[in-house]
Amino acid sequence: MEVAVMNVLILGSGRVGTAFGYILRKKGYRILGVYNRHRETGLRALERIGEGTVYDRESLPAAVPVADLIIITTPDRVIKETAGLAGSGGPHSDAYLMHMSGLLDSEILKIPGWEGGVFSFHPLQAIAGFTEGIKLLPEALFTIEGNEKGERFAGELARSLGLKYLVIKKEYKPLYHAAAVIASNYLVTLVGNSFRLLRKAGMDREEVRKGLLRLVKGTLENLEQMAPDEALTGPIARGDLETIGKHRQALTDYAPELGELYRLLGWYTAEMINNEEIKQYFES
């Protein structure tokens, strides 16, 4: 089927769904509309996407048979329910049903008695808003998996949009998602706790926070150029137990709630560079 005549329904119109719908329309896909429990949210999404209708629970089933691609971008906890809602409308046999969850696989999309293509299509990217989404999604790496029909089409979809993608086995999706959470969400947690220590040190000033973020950006730039063990700097990379000991004492004195976090991160950092002496220090 040619891209220009492919009809798309988007179920869920949050940041990712709206941004992805905009990208699809720009590439020639026809957006039939969005389904959202809150009409105002759906209308805002359509303003950004540029075409389509807002569907509710009563009107959606009539639109499903017209759709060639049905995209679910709801929270994970309601993907199965939303897929069932799409199924009640009777998608045609050549249609495709996809979700964009990083955690769940495509099995959750299967509709009894329907033999269409199902697949997951997840961007390895943190999307904080619509503007960021339309900029970052085209640059993201997507992971895909699905049944035979769905996985084949997922590759075609990615290529039609000029996206980079990898195929993942469905049993590895939770492990893959955990990796993404550690790299993205927990990075925010670490920086947040660095800010906490700065406040305790009387350095809660904007220029200090900006300086810390420049440090983080420099580390990320190093990681773009070299492996993690080569990019590592600081006392563990130098084998400087004296400095590490002073850090731990300061945490005991001023922020004991972060002492165990520092110890665990230190142990895993030492393990990464195969420094047994420092590993043993953190175990004691």
Tell me which CATH code domain 3-171 carries.
3.40.50.720
CA terminus-to-terminus distance, the chain: 64
Average pLDDT, the chain: 95
pLDDT at 174 over 60: yes
Q: What are the residue ranges spanned by the domains of the chain?
A: 3-171, 182-283
Cα–Cα distance, 229 to 199 (Å, whole number): 30
The DSSP code sequence of 12-43 is --SHHHHHHHHHHHHTT-EEEEEE-SSHHHHH
In this prediction, residues 142-169 reach a mean pLDDT of 97
Instruction: Assess contact for 269 and 232: CB atoms under 8 A.
Output: yes
User: Rounded CA gap, 65 and 8, in Å?
Assistant: 11
Taking alpha carbons only, the member of 68, 244, 75 closest to residue 160 is 68
> What gap in Å lies between CA 89 and CA 240, rounded to an integer?
65
pLDDT at 2: 46
Give the count of beta carbons closer than 10 Å to the beta carbon of residue 86: 25
Q: In the predicted model, what is the mean pLDDT of residues 162-181?
A: 97
Helix locations, 109-231, DSSP H:
130-136, 148-161, 173-183, 185-200, 206-225, 228-231
**Strands 7-11 and 30-35: what pairing?**
parallel
Q: How far apart are CA 5 and CA 7, in angstroms?
A: 6
Kindly provide the residue ranges of all beta strands, DSSP E only, lying in 56-176, ordered along the sequence: 69-72, 96-99, 117-123, 141-146, 164-167
What is residue 4's predicted lDDT score, i.e. its pLDDT?
A: 45
Secondary-structure class of domain 182-283 per CATH: mainly alpha
* pLDDT at res. 1: 44
* Tens of pLDDT, residues 177-228: 999 999 999 999 999 999 999 999 999 788 888 999 999 999 999 999 999 9
Compute, in degrees rounded to 10, the torsion defined by CA atoms 190, 195, 196, 199. 170
Quick check: 117 pLDDT over 70?
yes
Q: What is the mean pLDDT of residues 130-142?
A: 97
pLDDT at 5 over 90: no
Predicted pLDDT of residue 109 = 97
Distances (CA, A) of 157 to 87, 101, 270: 22, 17, 42
Q: Residues 32-72: pLDDT tens digits?
A: 999 998 999 999 999 999 999 999 999 999 999 999 999 99
One fold for 3-171 and 182-283: no
> Is the pLDDT confidence value at 21 over 50?
yes
